[in-house]
Amino acid sequence: MPVAEAEKRTFEPEVAHLDGKVAIITGGTTGIGRATALLLSRRGVRVVVYGRHQQELDDTLHDLGEAGGQFHGLIADNAYEDQILNVFAETRRVFGDPGILINNAALPAQSVLDTPYDDILYILRVNVLGYLTCMREAIRIMRSNGGGHIVNVGSMSAKVRETGSDVYVATKAAIEGMSESLRKDLGQEGIRISLVEPGMVGTNLHGEPPDVEGQRRMEAEGQMLEAEDLAQAIYCILTQPPRSNVYEMRIGPVKQAI
C-alpha cells in the first residue's frame, strides 16, 4: 500500500472481547479483587470469586447479582492446596474451563523482627505458594485449550523495598520473579502472564480501616488509588489484542513520590 494511502487510514483501537469467558479471581470478595469481579461481570465475563469470610462473600455476591452477570462464589483459603483445587474443580463444574486467572489474594506483613515464625509461614503460604498453586492449576487448563491470561497483582514494594515491611517486600519480590520467569516459559504456548504493581491503594488488608474519612480524602487528593482504578487497569490488560501482552504495569497515585 502506498505511504500516502496508508496515512489516510483511520486508526481504530483493537480490543479483545471478554464476553462469555470464565475468570477466577482470588481474594475476590474485597478490595481490588472485588472491584475487578464487578467490572468484569459487567463486561460479560463469568466470574468465580472466593475469600475467607462468609459475610464478605455474601456482600460481593449480592452486588454481583445487582450487576446482572453470571457468577459463582466460594469460601476458600489460598494457604491450603486442597481448597484451591476445589475452587478450580467447582469453576469447571459450574462454568467450564477458566481462561482468565486474577491472582490477587494476599495478606499484609511487617518486619521479620516483629512477626512470629508461624505467622510468617502462613503469610508465605498465602502470598507466595497460593499464587504459585493457582498459576499451576490455571496453566494446566490453559495449555490444554491453547492459551489463556494470568494477571498477578503484586506491589511496588517489590522495587521500592520500604523499611519495616521486609516480609511483605519478600513476598512481592517473589511474585515479580515468578511472573517474569513463567511469562518467558509460556508465551510460545499462547499463555499470557501480566504483572500489575500498584502503589498506595485505598483497599483494606487489615479489616475496616481506622480512618475511613482520611482514606477517602487521600483518594480525592490524588495521594491514594481506589480499588476501581486497579480494576480498570486489569481490564485494560485483559483486552489487549491476542498478539500482545502487557508484561508489567506499575500504577500509582499521581502524588505518591516513588
Rounded Cα distance between 128 and 22, Å, is 24
Which one of the listed residues 50, 131, 168, 235 is annotated catalytic? 168
Packed helices 227-238 and 31-42: angle between N→C axes, nearest 10 degrees: 50
Burial of 209-228, coded b for 16+ CB within 10 Å and e otherwise, reads: eeeeeebeebbeeebbbbbb
Whether residue 168 lies in the annotated active site? yes
Rounded Cα distance between 104 and 126, Å, is 10
What end-to-end distance do the CA atoms of the chain give, in Å? 46
Q: Which residues contact 92 (CB under 8 A, 6 or more apart)?
A: 98, 141
All three cell numbers of 98: 477458566
All three cell numbers of 13: 483501537
- Which sign, positive or negative, has the C-alpha torsion 208, 62, 129, 85? positive
Whether residue 52 contacts residue 28, with contact meaning beta carbons closer than 8 Å, is answered with no
Q: In 10 A of CB 147, how many CB atoms?
A: 13
Whether residue 158 contacts residue 197, with contact meaning beta carbons closer than 8 Å, is answered with yes
Name the residues annotated as catalytic. Answer: 168
